[in-house]
Structure 1
Amino acid sequence: MIDPTTQAQLKEAIADCIGSDRGILDALREEIRPLKSATRQIQPRATTSISLVATDGGNNQLQFDPFLIQLVRVVDSSNNEYCLEAVSPTTPLEKLDKFQFNSDGTPRTSLGKMMSFLGVDSLAKLSHMIRPTRKGEPVSPSWVQVYRELVEWAILFALLDKDFGTDTLIICDGLLRSKVFAQDLFPKLLNGMKNRIEAHYTNSRRQILLAGVAKHSKVLSRYRLAMALEGVLLTDYPAYVEVPREVEERAYVWSEFARGDDRASDGGEVNKFVGGKMFLVKFGNRKRDPIWPVDIFLPQISSSQLILGSMLTDAINGFPVPHYPRCLQKAHENAALVDFDFDILQDFIYEGVRGSLGAQAELLDAFQLQDADPAQRRYS
């Protein structure tokens, strides 16, 4: 434990730091102060809401050294499964490339269809973050996360090509931004999504709305205290405020992650990573209800009241997280592989290893009975 003398010294040092940095908080309050007058009330709207969610890599790893198999699974809030693959960091990229296409070169999967639309025939061309491992170099497992994100974008793109029986709001898990695409492929994909949405309205007068909700945001983390001190979104009704681009840019280490088409049209760099405009939204009717970062698809910013009103109707019944879109929570529940399902899949690993060991398979049975972490007994 820290002795009382040291505690006093630390207390004084912390107080000095806060006193020196007080100007930072004052600057943040000045930056965020105009948002109070820009706050708008959300009016509930009736629209069908669905959500897409990919399994979380950390929660769906089938691990058994020296193997690390990750499941790539995407489902929606109605429990429709669009993808279920098992991938490991050592999976050959050539094998994954071939899996996306039929023998005649036509797309086989949603990812293959997106690749065909973007004019690429390999994952290395689709993303600069997926590269073949050179011989003798350690294998990086991070590319599997990139592959999962690409699959999720591909399934969203494929979903926009389906028929909808009514006006529909599609809520994505996370902000509508990405840095995993190579060169200008992400803007090309966003334009394709925009065209498909417009085609629905032209052909059948169906409004397909698109938004993304994040659990965390550097913008909200940076300005949360300043917002509380300035009374931003401290309302007794559901409300939202549009976040100016310059406020976003100050929060991100890489400003291009906050640079949308609006900034590019002002003479800035071309937008390669941003597909949404950020809003800070409170779906509850109490002052201290949680605030969520929401990205609205750039071409639909003028429909922000309609989109957020539709999300409000869905978030009112949010469970187990209150005032958070229920369809997104249902999609998370459907996507998670836990308990009995996960145990079965973990057993598949042992079966696969047992089959590869041949005459030494019985050694695996003895290995499974060994305590993998005997040090845990100290907590018993």
Structure 2
Amino acid sequence: MFDAESITRLRKEVKRTTIENRWLLDQLLSEIEPMRHAAIKIQPRTTTSISLVASDGGNNRAEFNPFELQVVRVMDSHGVELLTKVVSPYTDLADLAAWHLDPARPDDPLGTLMRDLGCDSLYALSPMLNNDPEKKSPGWPLVYRDLCEWAVLYQLITRTHWGSDTLIVRDGLLRSKIFRGDLFVQMYRRIMETIEETKSRRRRDVFLVGIAKRTEVLQRYATAMSVQEIFPSGHPLFAAVPMELQQKAYKWPEYIRAPVADADGDSKEDPKFNIGSMHFVRFGSAQSDPVWTADLLHAQAADAQKIFGFLLGDAVEGFPVPFYPLCLQRADEHAHVVGLDMDILRDELAAAVRGLLGDGTRQKILDGLMLAYTDIASRRYS
């Protein structure tokens, strides 16, 4: 702990460093100035909303897990299981791709996405899923999880006949660097084709929005936005994030480049990692209420008022995170493997390992090892 002398010295150091870096605050205030009158009041609307969340082994890891098994589980806000797969860092990716592409599973979300994009392997879909033992990353299940979430989202939009106007909410921005080449933008074009067809033939609107609690651009400008009162008290508000601010916050220009070809035909790299139009949004009415970063589909940016109006009612009901879409919070709860579900997962894993060991002394050793791995005290007092 700091003693009295250390606190005094620390206080002086903090004050000195802050004064020396005052120029940075002035710069941020200047950069955010153009947004001072850009905020638009959100008008409430009603529509069907559905959310999806993918949960991976980082959240669903059993206490006793010698094979490092990870449960990839994509759920919606109604508790419907959309995709579940158990993998480990040692899973053969060729076998995994064959499982998803099996004709016996024509409705598998990842298989559907792979077929529509002309991919016959996971490596063809993402360069991060290399099956070569020399190049295979131990962290590939995280990439696989994200692909599964995008695949479920893609299937929801392109294969579902909605009976009413629908807003699909993704936990995270509509940007990704895990797809090979321009496959991400190809997926976006197929999504928009389906959305336009649904609107013209069935008179139904389908919208997609991604919401993120934390982003680099919001982290950079949060203080300046508050000081400049970009979102004054009184009403729920939203505002498009100028491209200049995004360029200053993100190091990689391809992460913010819009999914349209450059009109001037210059030699810039083709857009391939972003399908969203970035906005700041505050669903509460007080200046102190949280501000989130939201991505609308690039082609749906003109419908921002309608989309945020649809999302407003759900966000106001948000719990336990205030003013964060309730549908996302419910989907996240469904996706986590906890409580009885985790007990079932642990027991199934133990039974599978026990089956490999056969009868006799080794099974008893395994049972003792499982008790050693299980933290009984933490369960009792958690």
Letter paired with 1:233: F
> What SS class does the counterpart of residue 75 from structure 2 fall into?
strand
Alignment of 1:74-223 (within 5 A): 74-102=74-102, 107=106, 109-134=108-133, 140-160=137-157, 161-223=159-221
In the alignment, is the contact (CA less than 8 A) between 2:63 and 2:373 conserved in 1? no
- The answer on whether the counterparts of 1:55 and 1:71 sit within 8 Å (CA) in structure 2 is yes
Distance 1:313 1:371 in 2: 45
Quote the residue 2:371 is aligned against: 369
Does the CA-based 8 Å contact 1:107-1:116 persist in structure 2? Answer: no
Of the three residues 214, 219, 240, the one matched with 1:242 is: 240
Deviation at 1:56, TM superposition (A): 4.2
Structure 1 unpaired stretches of 5+: none
Report the alpha carbon displacement of residue 58 of structure 1 after superposing the two structures with TM: 1.9
Q: Where does residue 347 of structure 1 map in the other structure?
A: 347
1:358: Cα distance to partner?
Answer: 1.2
Instruction: Name which of structure 1's ranges 245-254 and 202-211 shifts more when overlaid on structure 2.
Output: 245-254
User: Which amino acid in structure 2 is aligned with residue 150 of structure 1?
Assistant: L
* Deviation of 1:243 (Å): 0.2
Letter in structure 2 aligned against 1:117? D
CA RMSD of aligned residues (A): 2.3
Task: State the distance in 1 between where 2:225 and 2:100 align.
Answer: 47
CA deviation string 1:72-103 (max 9, x = no partner): 11111122211111111110111101101226
- Cα distance, 1:8 vs. partner? 3.9
Contact 1:102 1:108 in 2 (8 A): no
**For structure 1, which segment, 78-87 or 58-67, has the greater mean C-alpha deviation from structure 2 after superposition?**
58-67
> Which residue number corresponds to residue 43 of structure 1?
43
Alpha-carbon distance in structure 2 between the residues aligned to 1:150 and 1:254: 21
Give the match for residue 322 of structure 1: 322
Q: Tell me the TM-score normalized by structure 2.
A: 0.92
Q: Distance in 2 between matches of 1:238 and 1:263?
A: 34
Counterpart amino acid of residue 72 in structure 1: V
SS in 2 for 1:300: helix
Contact 1:249-1:259 within 8 A present in 2 as well: no
Aligned to 1:30: 30
Q: Which runs of 5+ in 2 are unaligned?
A: none
Name the TM-score, length of structure 1 as normaliser: 0.92
Deviations 1:325-359 (A, max 9, x none): 12112211222221111111111111111111113
Amino acid at match of 1:33: E
Return the alpha-carbon distance in structure 2 between the equivalents of residues 372 and 75 of structure 1: 28
Q: 8 Å contact 2:43–2:305 — kept in the other structure? A: yes
Please give the per-residue CA displacement for 1:160-189, whole angstroms capped at 9, x wherever unaligned.
121000011111111111000011111101
Tell me how far apart the structure 2 counterparts of residues 178 and 111 of structure 1 sit (CA, whole Å): 16
- Preserved CA contact (<8 Å) 2:235 2:286: yes
1:169 is paired with a residue of what secondary structure? strand
Q: Within 2, Cα distance between the matches of 1:306 and 1:297?
A: 13
